Amino acid sequence: MALEVCVKAAVGAPDVLGDCPFSQRVLLTLEEKSLPYKMHLINLSDKPKWFLDINPGGKVPVLKIDGKWVPDSDIIVNLLEKKYPEPSLKTPPKFASVGSKIMTTFVTFLTTKDASDGPLLHELEALENHLKSHDGPFIAGERVSAVDLSLAPKLYHLEVALGHFKSWSVPGSLTHVHNYMHALFSLHSFEKTKAEEKYVIAGWAPRVHT
């Protein structure tokens, strides 16, 4: 029986895949494990009753597995790894927190008026140093793993949203970060599950104060 997953529909286009990085993380995991799934696009500004019935919290993503609906991308990804261990997407524990503060610092810089890019640059430089001192192209080596599938959508949002709203881009001096982003964005699974740039911009627009 195919898995079912509820993910965000695009803002203003309820029949198109939307811009939620946590939804994309789950879709990337399903794709990288070659698991068949049925996708439900949820319009978060007009949530259907059936969705709220199965998921009163109303957040996405939610995955139906073994007849139960499970929320939260962290829980979903761990559950999929346990139930479908091959191919393994486990990240070695020592690498699991690499890049973990990038999203927080990106959101603060994007949504806070007159915010400095210093904290975000600090996190990106830490990622650069990790990539420089370890074999790649991914965080844990040659093979993509869970930490990459978590970071990929966040780095995509960072590139698109900061480029549009702040005319900001990752410094060219961070060559390993640029190469890493290229490796992630070139994955077939990423191409298949990413939101169009215009929907990433539409998704962030209400939170940006320029």
What is the identity of the amino acid at 83?
K
Amino acid 49 reads K
20 is catalytic: yes
**pLDDT for res 201:** 97
The reported pLDDT for the residue numbered 2 is 81
Please spell the DSSP secondary structure of 42-103, one letter per residue.
Answer: E-TTS--HHHHHH-TT--S-EEEETTEEEE-HHHHHHHHHHH--SS--PPPGGGTTTTTTHH
Burial of 114 (0-12, 13-18, 19+ CB in 10 A): exposed
Contact assessment for residue 10 and residue 16, using Cβ atoms and an 8 Å cutoff = yes
Encode the chain (210 residues) as per-residue pLDDT tens digits: 689 999 999 999 999 999 999 999 999 999 999 999 999 999 999 999 999 999 999 999 999 999 999 999 999 999 999 999 999 999 999 999 999 999 999 999 999 988 999 999 999 999 999 999 999 999 999 999 999 999 999 999 999 999 999 999 999 999 999 999 999 999 999 999 999 999 999 999 999 975
Is 26 in contact with 76 (CB distance < 8 Å)?
yes
20, 26, 139, 155: the active-site residue: 20
Residue of 99, 97, 119, 100 lying closest to 108 (CA atoms): 119
The pLDDT, as a whole number, for residue 210 is 56
DSSP letter assigned to residue 138: B
